[in-house]
Amino acid sequence: MSPFSFLALIFALLALCTEATPAPTSNKPAIILVPGAFHKAFVYDKVKNLLKSSGYSNVDALDLPSVGPLAAHVDRTPDIAIVKAHLLARLARDQDVVLIGNSYGATVIGEAVKGLQSRSATAANPPAQGKILGLIMLSGFIPYISEVSQPGSRPDVRLTSPPWLRFQGTERMFWDGDLINSPPSFTFYNLLSASDAAFWSSKLAPSSFDAANATATFIPYTGAFRSLYVIGEHDNAVTPAWAQSFIDQPGAQFETLTIDGDHVPMLSRPQTVVDIIRRFAGEKI
């Protein structure tokens, strides 16, 4: 086990110990927000603030250990562990939970619910409280079902990635492989103003190759968990056609929604994202 994996598991144990005692909470579910590759948790700040102003007092936006200048050789395990720690802590407090993942973050939330099928709101006998209401995948870069059902079928990520991704051997992954034709202002932030796109481009951080190239061990969207896939009609990273290839798989059971969004809608369309979360959580708005 890598040092990062060990630290993430220690964090999980500490979270469980400190959060295990039930306490009064809002009747609204807890929300867990997970960013994608290259992005830190503050990409969700607008969404967090809007959720809190709508009465959601338990909102966690999480940094992934695989993102950052020192993240070379961090595999997917600590990413999953950090999300699962927060999820288990919320469930231990009898809080219902909605998980939201953007891009690669959608893969992480899908792995974090592995082994918790009995806590799913779609289970035959779900608990009255402390349920996983489901997963929202915003422009999800997710594994295909065959990745788990047919071990060894997944190709190396370098063979299937778009040319704007750049790989530093098997250490790190960057977003600057084609800055002439596909800068971040095109791939990620094409609905932001030029100044906002420049600001967010300056905040991008490298991601670990090992996390991006890991093989999935669980597929959550075949019926075990309610799963909503949100397509951005202006997404230049996970294009609508690519997103449809996930949705159209035999055995996939997605709810789907197409929005007037790009690849990072929590920046360009924060109110839309909040409305999606609130409706998914059962609100009539």
Q: What pLDDT does 180 receive?
A: 98
> Strands across the sheet with 227-232, in order?
59-61, 30-34, 97-102, 132-138, 227-232, 255-259
Backbone angles phi, psi at 71, to 5 degrees: -90, 10
pTM value? 0.91
Q: In sequence order, which residues have a C-beta less than 8 Å from that of residue 48 and are 6 or more positions away?
A: 33, 59, 61
Q: What pLDDT does 26 receive?
A: 63
CA distance 39 to 101: 12
Domain 3-17+28-280: give its CATH code. Answer: 3.40.50.1820
Q: What pLDDT does 279 receive?
A: 98
Q: In sequence order, which residues have a C-beta less than 8 Å from that of residue 171 and are 6 or more positions away?
A: 72, 73, 208, 209
Query: pLDDT truncated to tens, each residue of the chain (285 aa)?
Result: 455 444 444 444 444 444 433 333 468 999 999 999 999 999 999 999 999 999 999 999 999 999 999 889 899 999 999 999 999 999 999 999 999 999 999 999 999 999 999 999 999 999 999 999 999 999 999 999 999 999 999 999 999 999 999 999 999 999 999 999 999 999 999 999 999 999 999 999 999 999 999 999 999 999 999 999 999 999 999 999 999 999 999 999 999 999 999 999 999 999 999 999 999 999 998
Question: What crossing angle do the helices spanning 270-280 and 45-53 adopt, rounded to 10°?
Answer: 50
Q: In sequence order, which residues have a C-beta less than 8 Å from that of residue 156 and are 6 or more positions away?
A: 213
Q: What pLDDT does 130 receive?
A: 97
Q: What pLDDT does 24 receive?
A: 39
CA distance 19 to 215: 31
Residue type at position 7: L
Beta strand ranges found along the chain (DSSP E): 30-34, 59-61, 97-102, 132-138, 166-168, 172-174, 207-208, 227-232, 255-259
Which of helix, strand or coil describes residue 105? Answer: helix
Domain boundaries, given as residue ranges, for the chain: 3-17+28-280
